Structure 1
């Protein structure tokens, strides 16, 4: 069982995957456990950037670039602006919950053990992946032919949610 780990860590690509995966999981855990909103946004940005690293490992450079540009950049800055523009009362400190934290750690360790066991004893099909020559062109073709209606619906949904956020912010201001 441990020989599989040694084989896995013998490749630099696998080590990079392991590091980016740990950063993504760590950022998500920190985002959920921090109490200050700005710290949460920074942890979320770390998760977004590590996901972009995972996309680079998967040879999806365009998706990695969009991940950094849209999520790590624009969404994080938008969240920070939202935090700065709203009023905050004194942040309340949550009481210490040692039993909750202990049960949470036991549950996470149990889940890790089950997933580790499942990965070690599963047989995965082997094969070669034939990547297309230009990922960006293929994404564009799929986006504007097969998936054009969901793409347009998402743009309408984002526009409506943006207008709704402005209306709600105006109501709170009055």
Structure 2
């Protein structure tokens, strides 16, 4: 058994456990912690697939930014501590759906012919450098347009969050 296989098994087990725990926890903060474990293990899987850039982006964007935004959203909204009773029929249907999905995926993976590409470039070597070169040469205009779009969205969110000062003054009267 190679180290790569052991890493894959450990990371995939953590990802699956994180997803299952996220669905079964009743406290929202515990759900978020399970989601972070899932995001980090998926980043580890990307790194084992020689996609270091995607793995680092997974850690920075999903495990960091998206999770923090979700936590702020949870903390700023009122949460009911009472949990709804989960019905046994719902649990049974979810279990049947998961087993059916697993069976379909197992069948699809085992019956797929994977043929190696002969003239494909070596993407696993210096893939971060290749992404950077493509991003800042061929795709520089879309990259800059996305940055302007994100800046406009940020300014719009600040304006909407700030609101109109006149309405706030009237509510205190």
TM-score bracket for this pair, using the shorter chain length: 0.7 to 0.9
| Residue 115 of structure 2: aligned partner | 125
* Cα drift, residue 89 of structure 1: 4.5
User: Is residue 2:102 matched to residue 1:112?
Assistant: yes
| Residue 139 of structure 1: aligned partner | 131
| Residue 15 of structure 2: aligned partner | 24
Gaps in structure 1 of 5+ consecutive residues: 1-9
Separation of aligned partners in 2, 1:132 and 1:87 = 44
| Residue 151 of structure 1: aligned partner | 143
Separation of aligned partners in 1, 2:15 and 2:66 = 17
The alignment's C-alpha RMSD in Å is 2.9
Distance 1:24 1:165, change over 3 A: farther
Given candidates 62, 65, 68, the residue that maps to 1:74 is 65
| SS of match in other structure, 1:43 | helix
Number of residue pairs the alignment of both structures matches: 163
Separation of aligned partners in 1, 2:116 and 2:127 = 23
1:19-69 deviations in Å (ceiling 9; x for gaps): 323322332343344443322321221121111101111112233223223
Gaps in structure 2 of 5+ consecutive residues: 169-173
Structure 2 length-normalised TM: 0.74
